[in-house]
Chain A
Amino acid sequence: MSTDPKAEVPRRSALGRVRGYGSAKEGVGHWWTQRLTSVALIVLGCWFVVSMLSLPSYDYATLVAWMRRGWTELPLILFIAIAAWHSEIGVRVIVEDYVEEVGAKTIVLALSTFIHAVIGVASVLAVLRIAFGGAA
């Protein structure tokens, strides 16, 4: 494990020297985003759960009225977008830790990202359609 970097072949290209050294200053990017989104979700997640549980019923009229009341769409859209983002990173961390094979890992991660994007955007679009749509 502890090979001395100086003991390596003396003549190497700039790329060869930099390869394998890791940091391109973005190493903690996902880690930091995961913290930011989790702080936001403490508020937004609690808001969503409390809102859901305090609805008097789950029939169409009640739900549409709730979504069209005041600024409900704002926290709702923020919740969906940030939850999808947080989930994408969380699934990524789990897959990176438990899927060993590089090919399988790449495919699973790509699929996860696509699915999260589709679910997130479709949900936001649905909220916008409900909030601004003509159909009552």
Chain B
Amino acid sequence: MGATESNGAPARGRPLSPHMTIYRMSRYCLLTSISNRIAGAVTSLGLPLLAYWLITLASGERAYSRAQPALAHPALRALYALLLLAFAYHLVAGIRHLIWDTGRGIERTESQVSAWVVIACSFALAAVLIGWANFGR
């Protein structure tokens, strides 16, 4: 932080939230926190894809059947799997964040244990979802 605020007013000694330069996060906490951001950002990529899919569907049967080969392309199938993984991770890690927001589970050992729980649960969930997507038809 510099000596002035962005609006040019002098910086005062206001309390700061414990951000990275002050608060040293444990390695597990850091890993799961940044992963949650990345997973959220990846899940966001699904939105334009969802929009494209719905728009072609709304454009009628012929437009949709023309778009179908592209939507079933192996590269997009890989993206669907990635989206399912990102969704599963963001879901489980997000629930952990919501629990933290209630003030629970923020102690050092608790958060390290929950980091492993998040990794295990989200990958198990992703495996189930991806398996379902591939073997369901």
Q: Do A and B come from one complex?
A: yes
B95 proximal to A (CB < 8 A)? yes
**A90 close to B7 (CB less than 8 A):** no
Give the size category of A's interface with B: 35 or more
- Cα–Cα distance between A22 and B15 once the two chains are bound (Å): 11
| A119 in complex: contacting residue of B7, B41, B48, B61, CB < 8 Å | B48
Q: For the complex, would chain B's binding face be called helix, strand, loop or mixed by DSSP majority?
A: helix
Shortest Cβ distance from A88 into B: residue = B44
> Which chain A residues have a beta carbon within 8 Å of chain B's beta carbons?
1-5, 8, 19-22, 35, 38-39, 42, 45-46, 49, 53-54, 56-61, 63-64, 80, 83-84, 87, 90-91, 94, 102, 116, 119-120, 122-123, 125-127, 129-130, 133, 135-136
> Which chain B residues have a beta carbon within 8 Å of chain A's beta carbons?
1, 5-7, 9-14, 37, 40-41, 43-44, 47-48, 50-51, 54-55, 57-58, 60-61, 64-65, 68, 71-72, 84, 87, 91, 94-95, 97-98, 101, 129, 132-133, 136-137
